[in-house]
Structure 1
């Protein structure tokens, strides 16, 4: 269980947010096809923006109405700290690139952040109907089942993952990703490299994966998973080992038994 200050939201807010995210998920599901849409970069970008626009049309107003006074973080690829107060950080199609290529690993996410800490989140997977939720101090759940992170204590037995946060990251970030994957292939059991981050982080929260790291500060891909993992009993820090916030430049979420070992390996990556 997280040691974060409990968020006294009550069940109504979580219910309202869950209903809004599920409704938005139905919109995204209706837009899904089991084949790739778009050949050129312009066509792919058009499909991505169309997905975002369609989902936000049904998601924005219910969320703003559910938490009067909370502001909206507009740029889903933005990173860094937000001004004090409450903010909605939403990814209308987390894994949008997968959606437009006919793959099935995508979701709709909505997270309420207070003073740069996530305090409530809903992640809905429209194709399976599964919904992951967490409230600070209240635990994490998959549908009606509590989530618990892995009990592993050896990195040599760990299934771990990373991924790319933005299209066309800078060359240094690409090289760090490659070097870190190599280091983890040497020290871990199996390494997954995929997008989006949230779809790996729900596995960490559920104990199916053991750790996820990322050289990025993109808020929308990390806030939901950060809260789910911490509320499921995991450890969430930056790559210096300090507690993670939206102001952090990088990210690690891991089962407590392998967090220190994972951090030690990643600390060698320049």
Structure 2
């Protein structure tokens, strides 16, 4: 498994280098439709490089193409072992010419992440995790931060990709921000969820939360937080996994416990208790 992780890192690094060299499109998108077209083009460009590289090193491991279909992500037909990849996390940043943006890759085995990679090509930072053995940044072992009060904590979150369609999740995010902004040391939205979770594993952030069901966005970073000594769960305190549909909460165990008490949930907003 260590050899496959190392070879996978080489594939991801090559893809990141190619993306970085591709640069931002010469003309900024004039409207949302053109921005979506640019995203599809750069996403396909990155996907092609990564899939080709993975086929070379592991031809028998299939690729899940359910990145944008949360129902298919739970399909048992995917098999015992398969790849989960976000070939461009933070695409808006990339297309607008700023960072961070990254690539994430997970090898799933029997329904859980066996290893994961999050690579930031701009900073040349390779975050990796191997189940049961730890998490690393460019080879240096990672450990979650020990801040254990909300008022001292540097928190991060992310908004839904489609706020107009994901109204419940948007309301929950805004409600949670209203509760936590006055209490926390600081709150940030840095863009890519996978990279923000990797930052939690590295102690750069103390905790991360996000509402929704975008499990594929969270798998890579979630394993890193766990392997760095942290805790990962759903917003409502359940075990995190492929079936998660309420959101993710990750950080050191004590801080996660405190934040869980602050998190509004669906029945709160619809019963007007907040």
Instruction: Give the TM-score normalised by structure 1.
Output: 0.90
Instruction: Say whether the 8 Å CA contact 1:150–1:210 is kept in structure 2.
Output: yes
Number of the residue aligned with 1:220? 216
Show CA shifts across 1:137-190 (max 9, x none). Answer: 110000010000011111111111111242344211111110011111133221
Give the 3 Å change call, closer, same or farther, for CA 188–47 of structure 1 in structure 2. same
Alpha-carbon shift at residue 203 of structure 1 (Å): 1.2
Bigger relative contact order (CA 8 A; separation at least 6): 1
What stretches of structure 1 of length at least 5 have no aligned partner? 1-8
Match of 1:60 in 2: 51
- 1:101-137 Cα shifts (integer Å, max 9, x gaps): 1111001111111233211111111111110111101
Uncovered stretches (5+) of structure 2, i.e. residues with no partner:
270-274
Aligned to 2:248: 251
In the TM superposition, structure 1's runs of 4+ consecutive aligned residues that sit over 4 Å from their partners are none
Partner of 2:126: 131
Question: Is the contact between residue 111 and residue 224 of structure 1 (CA under 8 Å) also seen in structure 2?
Answer: yes
Q: What is the DSSP-based 3-state SS (H/G/I as helix, E as strand, rest coil) of the residue aligned with 1:222?
A: helix
Q: Could you tell me how far 1:205 is from its partner in structure 2?
A: 0.7
* Secondary structure of 1:186 counterpart: coil
Shift of 1:15: 1.1
Report whether the alignment pairs 1:76 with 2:67: yes
Alignment of 1:81-96 (within 5 A): 81-83=74-76, 84-96=79-91
SS where residue 111 of structure 1 aligns? strand
CA distance in 2, matches of 1:234, 1:141: 14
Alignment partner of 2:257 out of 237, 257, 260: 260
Alignment check: 8 A CA contact 2:160 2:170 kept = no
Give 3-state SS (helix, strand or coil) of 2:174's partner.
helix
